[in-house]
Structure 1
């Protein structure tokens, strides 16, 4: 996998680069390939999106399709495919083919292919070989449970469903290094849209994943952006023949391959709920098929089923509106809030005041606000067949703080949202990964290797036996 990503980077060095977001429990690189007209840079008003595969190690199809996608984007760009060139020139695309490389290694070497089917599909199976990471943690239950926080606060005046801080008690639990790396990644890049790829069913699900039913029973549990999420899920499902039906008995509440996550099977600590409630990113979960380990000859058929859906989904990053929130001197305001009337979920501006807000077609009343500035409001009409995001800029004038707003903003600024990892867990994870890597190196190299390495000269690799 890493070899393919590096070769793709070499072939398309002008529009791609690989970078690591961290290491797994056993020290394997969590490698991302990025496509952009300026790799490694955030370009103003250019939206960023991500695709994540192999979160469950025994569901490798998503990772395989994302490798195909990386190769396809590179090859088609070089061959002059206008659609792909437009996509890469106007979008920054991040692809993480394997979030759980340790689980995958176990699944491939183990008996995973005989364990892929469980009675209730992917979302209910816990006993599958390689599904969890090397610490036996299910990564899709390991993110901070912010959905419970929302349900608890929903009757409070002015409650929010955005940029919810990570509760301190989360850090006292078992946090996987893979989860930690992805959380840091989500916080460090202004992602607009995301998809996570699984197997074991044919379905596209969207938040919330945790049921609002007090006893946790499966129950339709929509976010304030339910219409937007349905549109995003439909974008993938309608372009893809492989997500047009369920495996086994139909799921209550599914509509042609699209379903609310909590209605499908309530889980807490999911990655898509965390994306939505902690950052500006809207994520859906794509379950690619019934067979978690399809035979090799079926891989290309799966690619053909999903190719158009993947491209259409990346294009969906450009739905809605984008623009700048500036002060009167034309300087971008970082962290300004962009609100849409009737949707209790704000997004915030990036470092230089640019923003992206996914929306359905129609008329929207949009407001920009920031502490120390007067609010500005605009009426926006988005036509049904609009192919790119509408440009809506705001200029905020300095103003004395409204006491109500001041109180609201002070609650936010004093919260721990801006603080990440208050107990410095990072050192614990990096030390753990380094120790594991040293163990691996010692196991692979003969006793005399460290002596030659310490001399600083070339190590006599020719002395190693060929296996």
Structure 2
């Protein structure tokens, strides 16, 4: 009986430990970071438990041994600068901020026009969010060098460099990496430190960590279309939502669930063996169904930045031996390239290249040619993105094989609609919005023009007015037509009456 009670207490304590919701305000600051296991598990943890009952000294010695062959923070900075010197025409290195200990958070931009604002989409890769998951920082440098070495030689690489602004942040948590710990120097899990839709206590911006604030400012400065963070400890592509309203483990899809599942599947199926997972069907998972977390960066990207972000677990082992890195890179290379290529409708498998339609893109202009930061909505999907302010460009990721009704709207302008059926080709839909008249403003009415339904076989569309007139002009036209109709009816009645009078026989006079 005593043993049974003891066993029950142990199980309850374990359940309580791993069911606690995340967020910076809920973290146990007294817990040592060193108990993070270097090995992956079947389930995500708010705190990864240490299965190995060893001393902290032995644990640190083990990590130091594993760190051999990995770049230090100074090595990483040097490698990034050397990359920029080797590929100056298609890259730049810049800082988005500093860590708690003052380490620069350096990023690489790769593009045929680095540093220039244009209408191309922007994509970001972020690695080393958790300090003890260093594979991502190594793979992202390998990706940068691969793009440099194969530009103008490989069609997919050339398409990416010429068509995308790719931003790479190899290490979001350099302090945690230097200390071989999951959390940052303030013992905060950075992937629980973002504002959360279900955890309002986490919305106090004054409590944000320097690394988190740097990310928030970065995403305000650059309008990212899509993103991915690289983690370790499992082999799966994770998509929103990461949490649930009732804090329970359950499937909880976001409004763009189909699109996220498509993007996650694109990564897993391009991977060497991710899609073959027995634990995760097709190698993908909904975050809340796997294990709910709160204050995560993935959901924040989608809610506040209009950015579609995946959380990619790219190695079962959090900190594998450095000799395994080339193999892990080889397994993930095509997936990483395809995910970036998806924002410009191009992807490649191990043996064949093909167009992959993940949505629509175009520009929104006024009738006099001024770019408009219009709202782009899809009928039936409760999610809005905003076109760019300078060029009016938009990139709306959508799952292929569906029919979509796209709506462009802007205060003071008449909204426009277009119907698009996505297949295997790129679709460009440019909207030209006409200003509303004062009368329509006073009535608070939105006039919409419908442009019919288009297949993706057409390379480009421009949504224009079928009736380029105002409501007042339509009323006047109807009034004139009604008057003309009345005139014609009266004329016909008189003619019939005259014909009737002529044809009738004369009656005898009554005397």
Q: Give 1:83 deviation, angstroms.
A: 2.2
- 2:37 maps to none
1:392 alignment counterpart: 429
What SS class does the counterpart of residue 325 from structure 2 fall into?
helix
CA distance in 2, matches of 1:83, 1:142: 36
Where do 1:10-409 residues align within 5 Å? 10-44=85-119, 46-77=120-151, 80-107=153-180, 130-147=181-198, 169-172=203-206, 174-212=207-245, 214=246, 216-244=247-275, 254-318=280-344, 319-334=358-373, 336-352=374-390, 353-361=392-400, 362-383=402-423, 385-386=424-425, 388=426, 390-399=427-436, 400-401=440-441
Query: What is the rounded CA distance, in whole Å, between the counterparts of 2:388 and 2:324 in structure 1?
Result: 42
Alignment-derived partner of residue 115 in structure 1:
none
CA contact (8 A) 2:194 2:202 kept: no
Q: Secondary structure at the match of 1:95?
A: strand
1:402 and 1:143 map into 2 onto residues whose CA distance is 41
CA distance in 1, matches of 2:203, 2:316: 37
Question: What is the CA-CA distance between 1:41 and the residue it aligns to?
Answer: 1.1
Contact 2:156 2:341 (C-alpha < 8 Å) held by counterparts: no
2-side partners of 1:206 and 1:168: how far apart?
21
Shift of 1:275: 0.3
Contact conserved, 1:242 with 1:306, CA < 8 A, in 2? no
Q: Which residue of 1 aligns with 2:84?
A: 9
Conservation of the 8 A alpha-carbon contact between 1:147 and 1:277: no
* Contact 1:243/1:289 (<8 A) preserved: no
Deviations 1:406-451 (A, max 9, x none): 9xxxxxxxxxxxxxxxxxxxxxxxxxxxxxxxxxxxxxxxxxxxxx
TM-score by length of 1: 0.73
Distance apart, 1:381 and its partner CA: 2.0
Change (3 A) 1:315 1:177: same
Secondary structure at the counterpart of residue 184 of structure 2: coil
Structure 1 residue 404, shift from structure 2 partner: 6.5
With over 3 angstroms needed to count, the CA separation of the structure-2 counterparts of 1:230 and 1:12, relative to structure 1, is same
Q: Is the 8 A contact 1:202 1:245 kept in 2?
A: no
Gaps of 5+ in 1: 108-129, 150-166, 407-467
Contact 1:16/1:36, CA 8 A, preserved across alignment: yes
Q: Say whether the 8 Å CA contact 1:202–1:244 is kept in structure 2.
A: no
Unpaired segments of 5 or more residues in structure 2?
1-75, 345-357, 447-511
Distance 1:402 1:285 in 2: 47
Residues paired across the two proteins, number: 353
Aligned to 2:458: none
Q: Which has the higher contact order (CA 8 A, sep 6+)?
A: 1
Query: What is the Cα deviation at residue 313 of structure 1?
Result: 0.7
Q: Is the 8 A contact 1:243 1:287 kept in 2?
A: no
SS at match of 2:116: coil
Cα deviation 1:324-349 (Å, max 9, x = unaligned): 11111110012x10000111101101
Give the superposition deviation at 1:380.
1.2
Structure 1 residue 405: Cα displacement: 7.8
Whole-Å Cα distance in 2 between the matches of residues 195 and 28 of structure 1? 22
| Distance in 2, Cα, partners of 1:14 & 1:310 | 22
The residue that corresponds to 1:119 in the other structure is: none
Tell me by how many angstroms 1:256 deviates. Answer: 2.0
Contact kept in structure 2, 1:36 and 1:88, CA below 8 Å: yes
From the superposition, tell whether residues 371 and 69 of structure 1 become closer, same or farther in structure 2 (CA, over 3 Å).
Answer: same
Deviation at 1:190, TM superposition (A): 1.1
Equivalent residues of 1:321, 1:391 under 8 A apart: yes
Q: 1:322 & 1:289 partners in 2: Cα distance?
A: 34
Q: Deviations over 1:204-257 (max 9, x none)?
A: 110010123x2x1111010110000000000111111252456xxx65xx3221
Relative distance call for 1:366 and 1:267 in structure 2 (3 A) is same
* Correspondence for 1:434: none
Query: Using the alignment, how far apart are the partners of 1:375 and 1:233 within structure 2?
Result: 33
| Residue matched to 2:462 | none
